[in-house]
A and B are shown apart, each in its own frame.
Chain A
Amino acid sequence: MSLVKEFTKGIWKENAVFKLLLGMCPLLAVTTSAENGLGMGAASTFVLVCSNVVVAILRKLIPPKVRIPAFIIIIATFVTVVQLCMEAWVYGLYQSLGIFIPLIVVNCLILGRAEAFASKRPVIDAAVDGLGMGLGFTLALFILGAVREVFGSGAILGFNLFGASYQPILLMILPPGAFITLGLLLALMSRMSQKS
Protein backbone atom coordinates (compact mmCIF):
# COMPACT_ATOMS: atom_id res chain seq x y z
CA MET A 1 0.00 0.00 0.00
CA SER A 2 1.37 3.41 -0.89
CA LEU A 3 2.02 6.08 1.73
CA VAL A 4 -0.71 8.29 0.31
CA LYS A 5 -3.21 5.49 0.82
CA GLU A 6 -1.95 4.91 4.38
CA PHE A 7 -2.58 8.58 5.02
CA THR A 8 -6.03 8.94 3.46
CA LYS A 9 -7.48 5.73 4.82
CA GLY A 10 -7.53 7.22 8.33
CA ILE A 11 -9.45 10.24 7.15
CA TRP A 12 -12.19 8.50 5.21
CA LYS A 13 -12.15 4.75 4.52
CA GLU A 14 -11.13 3.69 8.02
CA ASN A 15 -12.09 6.84 9.89
CA ALA A 16 -11.70 6.02 13.58
CA VAL A 17 -15.01 7.55 14.57
CA PHE A 18 -17.33 7.14 11.61
CA LYS A 19 -16.17 3.73 10.41
CA LEU A 20 -14.46 1.97 13.33
CA LEU A 21 -16.44 3.64 16.14
CA LEU A 22 -13.32 3.98 18.30
CA GLY A 23 -12.59 6.69 20.83
CA MET A 24 -16.23 7.35 21.70
CA CYS A 25 -15.58 8.51 25.27
CA PRO A 26 -13.65 11.72 24.47
CA LEU A 27 -15.73 12.18 21.32
CA LEU A 28 -19.02 12.40 23.17
CA ALA A 29 -17.70 14.20 26.22
CA VAL A 30 -15.65 17.13 24.93
CA THR A 31 -17.46 18.11 21.74
CA THR A 32 -19.62 20.80 23.30
CA SER A 33 -17.89 23.32 21.02
CA ALA A 34 -15.84 23.25 17.83
CA GLU A 35 -12.81 24.66 19.64
CA ASN A 36 -12.84 21.91 22.25
CA GLY A 37 -13.11 19.35 19.48
CA LEU A 38 -10.12 20.79 17.64
CA GLY A 39 -8.01 20.97 20.82
CA MET A 40 -8.81 17.40 21.79
CA GLY A 41 -8.13 16.26 18.22
CA ALA A 42 -4.77 18.01 18.07
CA ALA A 43 -3.69 16.55 21.41
CA SER A 44 -4.76 13.05 20.37
CA THR A 45 -3.06 13.37 16.98
CA PHE A 46 0.23 14.40 18.61
CA VAL A 47 0.10 11.43 20.98
CA LEU A 48 -0.90 9.07 18.18
CA VAL A 49 1.94 10.10 15.85
CA CYS A 50 4.59 10.04 18.61
CA SER A 51 3.49 6.71 20.06
CA ASN A 52 3.22 5.14 16.61
CA VAL A 53 6.76 6.26 15.74
CA VAL A 54 8.29 5.07 19.01
CA VAL A 55 6.44 1.76 18.91
CA ALA A 56 7.61 1.21 15.33
CA ILE A 57 11.22 1.99 16.26
CA LEU A 58 11.13 -0.38 19.23
CA ARG A 59 8.98 -3.05 17.57
CA LYS A 60 11.82 -5.57 17.35
CA LEU A 61 13.15 -4.87 20.84
CA ILE A 62 9.90 -5.16 22.78
CA PRO A 63 9.27 -8.80 23.77
CA PRO A 64 5.76 -9.80 22.62
CA LYS A 65 4.79 -10.95 26.12
CA VAL A 66 5.10 -7.46 27.59
CA ARG A 67 4.12 -5.45 24.54
CA ILE A 68 0.84 -4.10 25.95
CA PRO A 69 2.38 -2.64 29.16
CA ALA A 70 5.24 -1.27 27.06
CA PHE A 71 2.80 0.44 24.66
CA ILE A 72 0.83 1.87 27.57
CA ILE A 73 3.99 3.33 29.14
CA ILE A 74 4.93 4.95 25.83
CA ILE A 75 1.44 6.36 25.29
CA ALA A 76 1.13 7.59 28.88
CA THR A 77 4.48 9.38 28.59
CA PHE A 78 3.37 11.37 25.55
CA VAL A 79 -0.01 12.14 27.09
CA THR A 80 1.71 13.58 30.16
CA VAL A 81 3.97 15.65 27.89
CA VAL A 82 0.89 17.04 26.12
CA GLN A 83 -0.83 17.74 29.41
CA LEU A 84 2.10 19.67 30.86
CA CYS A 85 2.59 21.67 27.66
CA MET A 86 -1.08 22.57 27.42
CA GLU A 87 -1.15 23.69 31.03
CA ALA A 88 1.91 25.84 30.42
CA TRP A 89 0.94 27.47 27.11
CA VAL A 90 -2.78 27.07 26.36
CA TYR A 91 -4.29 27.33 29.81
CA GLY A 92 -7.84 28.10 28.68
CA LEU A 93 -8.09 24.98 26.56
CA TYR A 94 -6.41 22.96 29.31
CA GLN A 95 -9.18 24.01 31.70
CA SER A 96 -12.05 23.31 29.34
CA LEU A 97 -10.78 19.83 28.39
CA GLY A 98 -10.00 19.02 32.02
CA ILE A 99 -9.94 15.35 32.95
CA PHE A 100 -10.19 14.26 29.30
CA ILE A 101 -6.55 15.10 28.58
CA PRO A 102 -5.11 12.42 30.91
CA LEU A 103 -7.84 10.09 29.66
CA ILE A 104 -6.27 10.12 26.17
CA VAL A 105 -4.13 7.30 27.60
CA VAL A 106 -7.08 4.95 27.53
CA ASN A 107 -8.36 6.05 24.12
CA CYS A 108 -8.56 2.68 22.42
CA LEU A 109 -7.83 4.30 19.06
CA ILE A 110 -4.22 4.98 20.11
CA LEU A 111 -3.50 1.59 21.67
CA GLY A 112 -5.34 0.02 18.74
CA ARG A 113 -3.05 1.65 16.16
CA ALA A 114 0.05 0.74 18.19
CA GLU A 115 -0.99 -2.89 18.42
CA ALA A 116 -2.55 -3.40 14.99
CA PHE A 117 -0.31 -1.27 12.82
CA ALA A 118 2.80 0.39 14.31
CA SER A 119 4.14 -2.78 15.94
CA LYS A 120 4.32 -4.51 12.53
CA ARG A 121 5.37 -1.75 10.15
CA PRO A 122 8.38 0.46 9.40
CA VAL A 123 8.68 3.84 11.10
CA ILE A 124 7.58 6.01 8.16
CA ASP A 125 4.44 3.98 7.52
CA ALA A 126 3.57 4.17 11.21
CA ALA A 127 4.07 7.94 11.31
CA VAL A 128 1.88 8.49 8.24
CA ASP A 129 -0.76 6.13 9.59
CA GLY A 130 -0.77 7.99 12.93
CA LEU A 131 -1.10 11.34 11.20
CA GLY A 132 -3.95 10.20 8.96
CA MET A 133 -5.84 8.49 11.78
CA GLY A 134 -5.30 11.51 14.04
CA LEU A 135 -6.55 13.95 11.43
CA GLY A 136 -9.58 11.76 10.76
CA PHE A 137 -10.31 11.73 14.50
CA THR A 138 -9.82 15.51 14.68
CA LEU A 139 -12.15 16.01 11.73
CA ALA A 140 -14.86 13.93 13.40
CA LEU A 141 -14.45 15.81 16.70
CA PHE A 142 -14.58 19.13 14.86
CA ILE A 143 -17.72 18.29 12.86
CA LEU A 144 -19.52 17.00 15.93
CA GLY A 145 -18.39 19.98 18.02
CA ALA A 146 -19.37 22.47 15.31
CA VAL A 147 -22.87 21.01 14.84
CA ARG A 148 -23.49 20.99 18.58
CA GLU A 149 -22.13 24.51 19.03
CA VAL A 150 -24.20 25.96 16.18
CA PHE A 151 -27.47 24.55 17.52
CA GLY A 152 -26.64 24.56 21.23
CA SER A 153 -25.16 28.03 21.61
CA GLY A 154 -25.85 29.69 18.27
CA ALA A 155 -22.16 30.24 17.58
CA ILE A 156 -19.23 28.72 15.76
CA LEU A 157 -15.70 28.88 17.22
CA GLY A 158 -17.05 31.51 19.60
CA PHE A 159 -18.49 33.82 16.88
CA ASN A 160 -22.17 34.51 17.34
CA LEU A 161 -24.15 33.48 14.28
CA PHE A 162 -27.79 34.31 14.80
CA GLY A 163 -27.78 37.37 17.06
CA ALA A 164 -29.34 37.75 20.48
CA SER A 165 -32.87 36.71 19.52
CA TYR A 166 -31.79 33.09 18.89
CA GLN A 167 -32.96 30.72 21.59
CA PRO A 168 -30.27 27.99 21.81
CA ILE A 169 -31.35 24.36 21.82
CA LEU A 170 -29.89 23.43 25.19
CA LEU A 171 -30.24 19.71 24.57
CA MET A 172 -27.47 19.86 21.96
CA ILE A 173 -24.88 20.95 24.54
CA LEU A 174 -26.04 18.34 27.05
CA PRO A 175 -24.99 14.67 26.72
CA PRO A 176 -28.09 13.57 24.72
CA GLY A 177 -27.11 16.10 22.04
CA ALA A 178 -23.83 14.24 21.53
CA PHE A 179 -25.58 10.93 20.94
CA ILE A 180 -28.24 12.43 18.65
CA THR A 181 -25.66 14.27 16.53
CA LEU A 182 -23.38 11.23 16.33
CA GLY A 183 -26.28 8.99 15.33
CA LEU A 184 -27.38 11.33 12.54
CA LEU A 185 -23.81 11.77 11.28
CA LEU A 186 -23.25 8.00 11.23
CA ALA A 187 -26.46 7.52 9.28
CA LEU A 188 -25.36 10.18 6.79
CA MET A 189 -21.92 8.59 6.43
CA SER A 190 -23.20 5.09 5.72
CA ARG A 191 -25.70 6.49 3.23
CA MET A 192 -22.84 8.22 1.40
CA SER A 193 -20.64 5.11 1.39
CA GLN A 194 -23.49 2.97 0.09
CA LYS A 195 -23.95 5.23 -2.89
CA SER A 196 -20.31 5.38 -3.89
Chain B
Amino acid sequence: MKDIIRLLLALTLIASAAGLILSQVEMATREPIKEQRRLQMLKALGAVLPAFDNSPDTDTVTLENGVDKKGRPVKVIFYRGRKAEELVGAAFKVIAPDGYSGNIEVMVGVKPDQQINAIEILSHAETPGLGDKIAQSRYKDGFKGKSLTNADWRVKKDGGEFDQITGATISPRAVVGAVKKGLEFYRDNQEKILAKGGQQ
Protein backbone atom coordinates (compact mmCIF):
# COMPACT_ATOMS: atom_id res chain seq x y z
CA MET B 1 0.00 0.00 0.00
CA LYS B 2 2.71 2.40 1.00
CA ASP B 3 4.55 1.44 -2.17
CA ILE B 4 1.60 2.33 -4.39
CA ILE B 5 1.28 5.75 -2.78
CA ARG B 6 4.97 6.37 -3.43
CA LEU B 7 4.58 5.40 -7.10
CA LEU B 8 1.48 7.54 -7.47
CA LEU B 9 3.19 10.49 -5.87
CA ALA B 10 6.28 10.23 -8.07
CA LEU B 11 4.35 10.01 -11.33
CA THR B 12 1.94 12.76 -10.29
CA LEU B 13 4.80 15.09 -9.45
CA ILE B 14 6.60 14.43 -12.73
CA ALA B 15 3.41 14.85 -14.75
CA SER B 16 2.49 18.12 -13.03
CA ALA B 17 5.98 19.52 -13.54
CA ALA B 18 5.71 18.58 -17.22
CA GLY B 19 2.33 20.29 -17.43
CA LEU B 20 3.70 23.43 -15.84
CA ILE B 21 6.64 23.64 -18.25
CA LEU B 22 4.42 23.01 -21.26
CA SER B 23 1.91 25.68 -20.26
CA GLN B 24 4.76 28.21 -20.03
CA VAL B 25 6.17 27.25 -23.43
CA GLU B 26 2.72 27.32 -24.98
CA MET B 27 2.16 30.84 -23.68
CA ALA B 28 5.50 32.03 -25.03
CA THR B 29 4.94 30.56 -28.49
CA ARG B 30 1.24 31.32 -28.92
CA GLU B 31 1.68 34.74 -30.52
CA PRO B 32 4.57 33.82 -32.89
CA ILE B 33 2.66 30.74 -34.08
CA LYS B 34 -0.44 32.81 -34.77
CA GLU B 35 1.69 35.28 -36.69
CA GLN B 36 3.36 32.50 -38.73
CA ARG B 37 -0.02 31.06 -39.71
CA ARG B 38 -1.25 34.52 -40.68
CA LEU B 39 1.83 35.15 -42.84
CA GLN B 40 1.36 31.76 -44.47
CA MET B 41 -2.25 32.61 -45.22
CA LEU B 42 -1.37 36.06 -46.60
CA LYS B 43 1.30 34.49 -48.81
CA ALA B 44 -1.23 32.10 -50.31
CA LEU B 45 -3.78 34.88 -50.74
CA GLY B 46 -1.17 37.11 -52.39
CA ALA B 47 -0.45 34.32 -54.86
CA VAL B 48 -4.04 33.81 -55.96
CA LEU B 49 -5.66 37.25 -55.76
CA PRO B 50 -5.03 40.21 -58.08
CA ALA B 51 -2.97 42.97 -56.44
CA PHE B 52 -4.81 44.21 -53.34
CA ASP B 53 -4.15 46.78 -50.65
CA ASN B 54 -6.43 45.63 -47.83
CA SER B 55 -5.87 42.64 -45.60
CA PRO B 56 -8.06 39.89 -47.03
CA ASP B 57 -7.48 37.61 -44.06
CA THR B 58 -9.72 39.83 -41.96
CA ASP B 59 -12.19 40.80 -44.71
CA THR B 60 -14.07 37.52 -44.88
CA VAL B 61 -17.49 36.00 -45.42
CA THR B 62 -18.25 32.55 -44.06
CA LEU B 63 -20.88 30.40 -45.75
CA GLU B 64 -22.08 26.88 -45.08
CA ASN B 65 -21.81 24.31 -47.84
CA GLY B 66 -23.64 21.11 -46.92
CA VAL B 67 -22.65 18.86 -44.05
CA ASP B 68 -19.70 16.54 -43.54
CA LYS B 69 -19.82 12.84 -42.64
CA LYS B 70 -20.56 13.60 -39.00
CA GLY B 71 -23.41 15.92 -39.85
CA ARG B 72 -21.59 19.12 -38.94
CA PRO B 73 -21.93 21.99 -41.41
CA VAL B 74 -18.93 22.50 -43.71
CA LYS B 75 -17.81 26.11 -43.51
CA VAL B 76 -16.25 27.84 -46.48
CA ILE B 77 -14.43 31.09 -45.78
CA PHE B 78 -14.17 33.64 -48.58
CA TYR B 79 -11.29 36.12 -48.34
CA ARG B 80 -11.98 39.32 -50.22
CA GLY B 81 -9.23 41.36 -51.83
CA ARG B 82 -9.80 45.06 -52.44
CA LYS B 83 -7.78 47.77 -54.10
CA ALA B 84 -8.75 51.37 -53.28
CA GLU B 85 -11.98 50.03 -51.69
CA GLU B 86 -12.88 48.36 -55.00
CA LEU B 87 -13.36 44.60 -54.87
CA VAL B 88 -10.78 42.90 -57.11
CA GLY B 89 -11.36 39.26 -56.23
CA ALA B 90 -12.27 36.63 -53.67
CA ALA B 91 -10.26 33.62 -52.59
CA PHE B 92 -11.40 30.41 -50.99
CA LYS B 93 -10.02 27.02 -50.10
CA VAL B 94 -11.23 23.81 -51.72
CA ILE B 95 -10.26 20.31 -50.66
CA ALA B 96 -9.88 17.51 -53.19
CA PRO B 97 -10.50 14.30 -51.22
CA ASP B 98 -9.86 12.02 -54.21
CA GLY B 99 -6.14 12.60 -54.82
CA TYR B 100 -3.67 9.74 -55.07
CA SER B 101 -2.76 9.94 -51.38
CA GLY B 102 -4.71 12.03 -48.93
CA ASN B 103 -6.43 15.36 -49.34
CA ILE B 104 -5.16 18.05 -51.68
CA GLU B 105 -5.86 21.56 -50.37
CA VAL B 106 -6.16 24.19 -53.06
CA MET B 107 -6.58 27.96 -52.67
CA VAL B 108 -8.60 29.42 -55.54
CA GLY B 109 -8.70 33.11 -56.41
CA VAL B 110 -11.68 34.30 -58.45
CA LYS B 111 -12.17 37.68 -60.10
CA PRO B 112 -15.60 39.36 -59.93
CA ASP B 113 -16.35 38.16 -63.48
CA GLN B 114 -16.09 34.56 -62.19
CA GLN B 115 -12.84 33.87 -64.02
CA ILE B 116 -10.03 32.24 -62.09
CA ASN B 117 -7.18 34.59 -61.34
CA ALA B 118 -4.83 31.88 -60.06
CA ILE B 119 -4.74 28.75 -57.93
CA GLU B 120 -2.24 27.66 -55.33
CA ILE B 121 -1.69 24.18 -53.89
CA LEU B 122 -1.59 24.61 -50.10
CA SER B 123 -0.86 21.06 -49.07
CA HIS B 124 -0.73 17.64 -50.66
CA ALA B 125 0.94 14.28 -50.24
CA GLU B 126 1.10 13.18 -53.88
CA THR B 127 3.97 11.02 -55.17
CA PRO B 128 7.21 13.01 -55.41
CA GLY B 129 8.25 13.45 -59.02
CA LEU B 130 4.88 12.42 -60.44
CA GLY B 131 1.70 13.70 -58.81
CA ASP B 132 3.51 16.48 -56.99
CA LYS B 133 3.93 18.31 -60.30
CA ILE B 134 0.48 19.78 -59.58
CA ALA B 135 2.34 22.21 -57.31
CA GLN B 136 4.54 23.51 -60.16
CA SER B 137 3.59 26.83 -61.70
CA ARG B 138 3.60 25.29 -65.19
CA TYR B 139 0.62 23.23 -64.14
CA LYS B 140 -1.13 25.81 -61.97
CA ASP B 141 -0.96 28.45 -64.71
CA GLY B 142 -3.26 26.30 -66.82
CA PHE B 143 -6.15 27.47 -64.65
CA LYS B 144 -5.66 31.20 -65.23
CA GLY B 145 -8.56 32.92 -66.92
CA LYS B 146 -10.73 29.80 -66.90
CA SER B 147 -14.35 30.01 -65.81
CA LEU B 148 -17.32 27.65 -65.73
CA THR B 149 -18.60 29.04 -69.05
CA ASN B 150 -15.40 29.22 -71.10
CA ALA B 151 -13.80 25.88 -70.28
CA ASP B 152 -14.54 22.16 -70.25
CA TRP B 153 -13.72 21.15 -66.68
CA ARG B 154 -12.16 17.78 -67.31
CA VAL B 155 -8.60 16.64 -67.91
CA LYS B 156 -7.66 16.02 -71.55
CA LYS B 157 -7.74 12.26 -71.07
CA ASP B 158 -11.42 12.52 -70.10
CA GLY B 159 -12.19 14.77 -73.08
CA GLY B 160 -11.77 18.13 -71.36
CA GLU B 161 -9.11 20.77 -71.83
CA PHE B 162 -6.98 20.66 -68.68
CA ASP B 163 -3.49 19.21 -68.89
CA GLN B 164 -2.87 15.97 -67.11
CA ILE B 165 0.57 14.92 -66.00
CA THR B 166 2.32 11.99 -67.62
CA GLY B 167 2.17 9.05 -65.23
CA ALA B 168 -0.21 10.82 -62.87
CA THR B 169 -3.74 11.47 -64.05
CA ILE B 170 -5.42 11.03 -60.69
CA SER B 171 -3.93 14.11 -59.01
CA PRO B 172 -4.83 16.63 -61.78
CA ARG B 173 -8.26 15.05 -62.13
CA ALA B 174 -8.86 15.55 -58.40
CA VAL B 175 -7.68 19.17 -58.52
CA VAL B 176 -9.77 20.02 -61.59
CA GLY B 177 -12.85 18.42 -60.01
CA ALA B 178 -12.42 20.23 -56.70
CA VAL B 179 -11.80 23.63 -58.31
CA LYS B 180 -14.87 23.14 -60.50
CA LYS B 181 -17.05 22.36 -57.49
CA GLY B 182 -15.66 25.42 -55.73
CA LEU B 183 -16.45 27.62 -58.71
CA GLU B 184 -20.01 26.31 -58.84
CA PHE B 185 -20.50 27.10 -55.18
CA TYR B 186 -19.04 30.55 -55.77
CA ARG B 187 -21.39 31.15 -58.73
CA ASP B 188 -24.45 30.12 -56.73
CA ASN B 189 -23.55 32.39 -53.82
CA GLN B 190 -21.80 35.30 -55.48
CA GLU B 191 -24.23 37.89 -54.15
CA LYS B 192 -23.69 36.84 -50.56
CA ILE B 193 -19.95 36.58 -50.98
CA LEU B 194 -19.48 40.00 -52.52
CA ALA B 195 -22.09 41.75 -50.35
CA LYS B 196 -20.75 44.74 -48.52
CA GLY B 197 -19.80 44.42 -44.92
CA GLY B 198 -19.92 40.78 -43.95
CA GLN B 199 -17.90 39.75 -40.95
CA GLN B 200 -14.94 42.00 -40.62
Contact = CB atoms under 8 A, between A and B. Distances in A.
A77 B129 contact: no
Contacts of A63: 3, 6-7, 10
Contacts of B33: 84, 87-88
* Most chain B CB atoms below 10 A, which of A76, A77, A174: A77
Contacts of B7: 63, 65-66
Interface residues of B, number: 21
Interface residues of A, number: 25
Interface string B27-41: 001001100100010
Contact of B129 (A74, A80, A168): A168
B129 A170 contact: yes
Contacts, number: 58
Contacts of A84: 25-26, 29, 33
Contacts of A69: 11
A85 interface: yes
Grouping DSSP codes into helix (H, G, I), strand (E, B) and loop, the B interface class, with mixed when no group exceeds half, is: helix
Contacts of A81: 21-22, 25
B14 interface: yes
Contacts of B25: 80-81, 84-85
B32 A88 contact: yes
A156 interface: no
Given A66-B10, A66-B11, 4 more contacts: A66-B7, A73-B14, A80-B22, A87-B29
21 contacts: A58-B14, A62-B14, A63-B6, A63-B7, A65-B3, A66-B7, A66-B10, A69-B11, A70-B14, A73-B11, A73-B14, A76-B18, A80-B22, A84-B25, A84-B29, A87-B33, A88-B29, A88-B32, A89-B32, A170-B130, A174-B127
